Structures are given as C-alpha cells and as structure tokens.
Structure 1
Amino acid sequence: MKLKDSVAIVTGSSSGIGAAIARLFAEQGCHVVINYSSNEDGARAVADDCEKHGVKTLVMRANVAEDANCRALVDATMDQFGRVDILVNNAGTTKFCDHANLDGLDKQDFLDLYAVNTVGPYQMTRAAEKALRANGSGHIINMASIAGLAGIGSSIAYAASKGALVTMTRSLARLMGPEVRVNAVCPGFVQGEWLKKGLGEDKYDALLEKTKGASPLHDAASPETVADVCLGLIIGGDLTTGETILIDGGAHLGMAPVRR
C-alpha cells in the first residue's frame, strides 16, 4: 500500500505516539485526521507540522469512548476527504496503580479504561468499516502494549484492557479481510512525557535505565520508533494481518547478553 494521497485517521494524535504517527504519515504524502479529547493546542500544532509537507489535515475533538463521537469523526472525514484508508486506534488512558495494591482499583477504574482502550477501538472500527472496505486495501492499527501480553505496566486494569485489545485485533482481522488488514503494535517502555508524568521523574529515569540495560538492543522505544513500525506495517506488510508486533528492544527475551 502506498501512503501518498491516502487518508488516515489517527485517534489521540495531539501528542506522543499519535502525534509522531501523524507527522510521519504526512511526510509520506498522507492526509491526516488529527483527533484530540482535550489538548486542542497540541493537535493544531501537529496539524501545522503535517501541512508543511503539502498534505491536508482535519483537526477534530472526539472522545472515542462515545459511539456518537466516533461516528461523527468518521463522517467529518468522509465529508472532507471522501475516503478513509487507514485507521490508527491510538487513543488510550490509564490509572497508575501498583499491581500489589488491589484496593487501588475499583470497578469504575476498569470501566473507564476499557471504555477508551478497548471499546473505543471497536467503535471506531465499526464507524469506519464501510469506508475502509470500499477502497479494497484498508488498514487498521491498534495501539496495544506489552502490558497486554505480559500482565505488566501502569496497572492491572490497563494491562487487562490492552490484552483485550490484542484479542479483539485477531477477531477483527478474521472479520475484515480481505479488504482490510488489522494488526496491533505492542510497545514496551516508551520514552516521553506521558510516562514521566505518570511515574514521576526519578522513577521514570531509573526504569528507563533498567529497561535499556535489560534489552539486547540496549535501548527503549520512543514515539518515533513506534511510528516507524506503524509505517512499515502500512507500506510493507501486504500479507500481514492479525499480528501483534512487539517494540521493546528485545527486553521480553529476558537478560541481555553481556557486553564485551
């Protein structure tokens, strides 16, 4: 699939991974729909960066936990561009809570996280299904996490919501073929302000160094490296669907080899 003149909806793209994906796709000539829930200034800054590459953008507020918002986002995209080629379900949320603190989460925490992290991608997929199928070569990327595979991460509720997203990716891949490919990417530790704010700077720095030391590649993901993997799935993965791609420098393999 070629990105030039395609149209991509990237949810949660006012900052972090979503913003990096929007910018990288724009560099490839892809028109981008930039979605935000609260950070309008960030979204418009991303749009300005994208438009420097000669593409068109649409900036729109939408909460993916609300079905009506998802449908409105797709409808607005169709009104402006007349097509949807790519859907990146990147919008996500968490509650930071030590896994040992079972009293730190309640029912509403689970419902809130699932609403955005799992139900949101489902509702966006449903809203965009007709448009994605119409082009015969659509692609959905679900932003999951290594937390959903290993039961780790910012909280048990977060890990559970991302695990459900991985499972849903496989279900949707069976359903959406042959017109649409559906894959999930699973970053590990991602460098940036989101984790730094959630963990606190000292804990963030310590965990970053630990992560780098534990991975065979002695590095940790950034929003840009995650975006690179998403781009590769779009332009170089024509027979790849229903897969989960880990982006963690090999940390899931266990102890890194000793440096010589």
Structure 2
Amino acid sequence: MNAEATMQKACLVTGSTGRNGAGSAIVRWFAKKGWRVVVNYSRDTQAAEAVAAECAALGAADVLVAKADVTSDEACRAMAAEIERRWGRLDVLVNNAAVTTFNDHKNLDGLSFDDFQRVFAVNVSGAYVATRAVAALLRRTGNASVVNMSSVGGLRGTGSSMAYAASKSALNAMTFSFARVLAPEVRVNALLPGFIEGDWLVNGMGRARYESVRAALIAKNPLKSVQTPDEIAEAIWWLVNGPAALTGELIQLDAGGRLVV
C-alpha cells in the first residue's frame, strides 16, 4: 500500500442497501467525498452490488461489498478482517442496520417475545458486535468516529413499536458507554432522526397511513418538514467531520418536532 493510498479514509455503513433509505444515502455521501466505502448487507446481493456501482460512479476511492449479518459475531469479525486486509484502516463506522415490527403501542398483544428478541438482536446487540469487531482498526486510526443511528423514539417512547423505541433507548445508553471505552482515539455519537421519508416507512405503515402521518408532522413541526435520507447523510457527515471535542452526544434531527407542546 503506497503512501497516497494510506491517506484515503474508509467508512463502513451497516445495512447500507435499503432502497431509498438512509443507509444507502449515507454510503453514497461518503463515496461522493472520495472515501473508500464498505457496502454492508445481510441478504440481498443484487441490491448491494447496485449500491456499490452507484458509489463507484460517484467517485469512491474504492468500494468493498461485504455480506455480514450484524447479529453474527463471526461474520462481523470476518468483515473487519477483510477491511484490514484490503485497506489496513477504518476511520468511520455507522451503525445503521435496524429492524422493527410495526405495531400500535396500545396493542400490547401485538408484540411477541420473539418480536422483542429480533428487534434487540439487530438494533442493540448488532451495533455492539459490529463496533467491537472493528474497534482495534478504529483505535489504530487515532482519530476515528462511530455514529449510531438511533431515533427520537428512543427518548420519547414513540415510533413504529414499543420494541423499537426501547431498542433505540438502549442504543443511546450504549453510545455513552462506547464513548467512554473507546476514547481518546475514537469519538462515539448518536443521531436521533424523526420521521424519515422513504420506502422503509411506506412498506411498514402502508401508503395511506404514511402520507397521513407525514402530512400531520409537516403541519405541526416548527420547520414544516420531515427528514429525507440525504439530510440524514449530511448530518452523519457533520458528526464525523465536525467538532473534535464532540463525543457521547445524542443529536436530535427532527425539524424541531421535540419543541411541539
């Protein structure tokens, strides 16, 4: 690896293949900046290859497509080893992979024990396992960053289901823990979006409810908007490249929705 290549920074975004989603927007954003990027996925190889092609076309220094289920410690460690072999460094990890079970919070019988297990396995344990797998690479960089994709639901007990809200609250707590443990070489923060436009919510809520909720939020939010995947990517970029003293923070990005009384 030549001296010029070692200066090229590398970013891993877990769950970065969703169509019109935040994960693919984030990895494309870093690609546009000329970074090396890892397109991580667990099932859909075709979608991963499509995102990788987009990243290459946008100017990524290099693109690695890595199949790894974040609930598998073995798979995450293998992905970390592949990154080390290919580039010898990792500068940024974005823990974006997440799942939910859409269920009205009032419907207590709508969530099973298995629903909770699945949501926590990906949203909490998955972020832990992925971070642990690449911790040594991040520390070696000496000025690295981890961003956990959380949710305002983790603060308010709202969102797609009670299991999802609880998992994001746990992820917030883990953000504090990792910020202490990985300092001073690695900064760890969390981004807490509100409603993000895109297919993930459309598919989970149904088109009619999606449009109704979106319109209601735009009407009441102080900034009269909801979030787009590109706005999430821009915020992640700021967290990675912003104030060097920023760590252990939960940054809300909800068009001022938290201010509504």
Sort the TM-score into its range (normalised by shorter chain): over 0.9
Unmatched tracts of structure 2, length 5 or more:
1-6
Residue 10, structure 1, aligned to residue 16, structure 2? no
Q: State the aligned residue count.
A: 252
Once residues 107 and 172 of structure 1 are traced to their aligned partners in structure 2, the CA distance between those partners, rounded to angstroms, is 27
Cα offset for 1:80?
1.1
- SS in structure 1 of the partner of residue 26 of structure 2: helix
Once residues 224 and 245 of structure 2 are traced to their aligned partners in structure 1, the CA distance between those partners, rounded to angstroms, is 30
Once residues 206 and 40 of structure 1 are traced to their aligned partners in structure 2, the CA distance between those partners, rounded to angstroms, is 33
Once residues 209 and 173 of structure 1 are traced to their aligned partners in structure 2, the CA distance between those partners, rounded to angstroms, is 37
Q: Does structure 1 conserve the Cα–Cα contact (< 8 Å) formed by 2:37 and 2:60?
A: no
How far does the alpha carbon of each residue in 1:15-53 deviate from its partner, in whole angstroms, 9 at most, with x for none? 211100100001111100000112222211111111121
Once residues 17 and 91 of structure 1 are traced to their aligned partners in structure 2, the CA distance between those partners, rounded to angstroms, is 10
Residue 139, structure 1, aligned to residue 139, structure 2? no
Once residues 188 and 78 of structure 1 are traced to their aligned partners in structure 2, the CA distance between those partners, rounded to angstroms, is 35
TM-score by length of 2: 0.94
Greater Cα shift, 52-61 or 117-126: 52-61
TM-score by length of 1: 0.95
Alignment RMSD (CA, Å)? 1.0
- SS in structure 2 of the partner of residue 153 of structure 1: coil
- Which residue of structure 1 lines up, in the alignment, with residue 183 of structure 2? 177
Identity of aligned residues (%): 44
Once residues 157 and 105 of structure 2 are traced to their aligned partners in structure 1, the CA distance between those partners, rounded to angstroms, is 9
Cα offset for 1:208?
0.3
4+ runs of 1 displaced by more than 4 Å? none
1:41 aligned residue (30, 40, 46): 46
Q: Does structure 1 conserve the Cα–Cα contact (< 8 Å) formed by 2:15 and 2:23?
A: yes
- SS in structure 1 of the partner of residue 127 of structure 2: helix
Unmatched tracts of structure 1, length 5 or more:
256-260
Q: Does structure 2 conserve the Cα–Cα contact (< 8 Å) formed by 1:74 and 1:128?
A: yes
- Which residue of structure 1 lines up, in the alignment, with residue 155 of structure 2? 149
1:88 aligned residue (94, 98, 106): 94
